[in-house]
A = this chain, B = another copy of it.
């Protein structure tokens, strides 16, 4: 933990790997790191594959460093089985920033996060925050609900939209409009970029309620480092808005509350459900469902009911409500 707090990248890497691979290590490590957290500005960056996020984040790292701040990046790809830096784009970035002790980049795939990738991401953010990083960027690939959930569990959520998505903007708008604090239309030199900006503006205009913070739409050409400065300014403006309005505290509190409930769910599953599903009784119960003698809801009640009897004492009263 001392190495981590001193900003040592190897120490950070070792601890994140430890927490990813050894369930028993999670609680003591987070317990030790947690008191030193709450200082980092955490921003999520999400968007579909091909939006140019990798290059954009690379340039954003430079902008943050140019402002004299240290930065940690967690690149989450729920569809990748790899973890620990095996994703190609990240390797390139890591090499590029390898001599800069103020930058730490970590890839996370879906493998080995039995507690769920969102908890694994929270833990990595906790460790980079405790490491003393001023800014933590959580990059997620994709615009599915899980990616949006991960990217949205931050102070500021940046949504990167590639130009020429056509109906795509329409198709993905629902989940995105709720979480986006800043829009980026990357590849702004693309002929369709203007239309994409106009589409997003229309969607914002059509919203039923006025917002206190209207998400700005930043145009960037990440490959030519255009618009990155502007993006970083907009992100900081959003953070200032959150602080000024008292929402930073509210947002972070809500995030921690969700995290506690998520951890409790996992603990409950491990303690109550898993020991009971690895039994011949459960196999027989599943056979009964396959034979259509028992429906899945009834089977679930029996699974919990038997559990209540065997493992948890006089609990029939409360478990009958299941």
A283 to chain B, nearest CB (A): 9
The closest CB in chain B to the CB of A33 belongs to: B295
1/0 contact string of A69-112 vs chain B (CB within 8 Å) = 00000000111111000000000000000000000000001100
The closest CB in chain B to the CB of A172 belongs to: B79
Q: A285 within 8 Å of B by Cβ?
A: yes
A contacts with B: majority SS:
helix
Q: A257 within 8 Å of B by Cβ?
A: yes
Q: A166 within 8 Å of B by Cβ?
A: yes
A174 and B264 within 8 A (CB) = no
Please report the C-alpha to C-alpha distance between residue A139 and residue B67 in the assembled complex, in whole angstroms. Answer: 47
Q: A298 within 8 Å of B by Cβ?
A: yes
Interface residues of A in 290-322 (CB under 8 A from B): 290, 292, 295-301, 303-304, 311-315, 317-319, 321-322
Please report the C-alpha to C-alpha distance between residue A3 and residue B312 in the assembled complex, in whole angstroms. Answer: 43
Stretch at the interface among A8-16, A184-192, A215-223, A266-274: A266-274
The closest CB in chain B to the CB of A291 belongs to: B38
A296 and B30 within 8 A (CB) = yes
Whether A265 contacts B260 in the complex (CB less than 8 A), given A79-B143, A143-B79, comes out as no
Please report the C-alpha to C-alpha distance between residue A290 and residue B180 in the assembled complex, in whole angstroms. Answer: 24
B322 and A318 within 8 A (CB) = no
Interface residues of A in 152-174 (CB under 8 A from B): 165-168, 171-172, 174
A139 to chain B, nearest CB (A): 13
Question: Within the complex, which residue of B143, B265, B270, B299 is in contact with A142, where a contact is CB–CB below 8 Å?
Answer: B143
Contacts of A151 in B (CB 8 A): none
Contacts of A273 in B (CB 8 A): 261, 264-265, 268
Interface residues of A in 239-254 (CB under 8 A from B): 249, 252-253
Q: A77-B171, A267-B322 are in contact. List 16 more A-B contacts (CB 8 A).
A: A27-B295, A30-B297, A38-B292, A81-B174, A144-B146, A256-B289, A259-B296, A261-B303, A263-B297, A263-B299, A264-B303, A265-B265, A265-B269, A267-B300, A312-B319, A313-B313
Q: What are 29 A-B contacts with C-beta separation under 8 Å?
A: A30-B295, A35-B292, A37-B292, A49-B167, A49-B168, A50-B168, A78-B145, A79-B144, A79-B175, A79-B176, A80-B174, A122-B296, A141-B171, A143-B144, A146-B146, A259-B296, A261-B273, A261-B277, A261-B300, A263-B296, A263-B300, A264-B303, A264-B304, A265-B265, A265-B269, A271-B319, A271-B322, A272-B318, A311-B318
**Which residues in A have some Cβ–Cβ distance to B below 8 Å?**
26-27, 30-31, 34-35, 37-38, 48-50, 77-82, 109-110, 122, 141-148, 165-168, 171-172, 174-176, 249, 252-253, 256-257, 259-261, 263-265, 267-273, 277, 285-286, 289-290, 292, 295-301, 303-304, 311-315, 317-319, 321-322
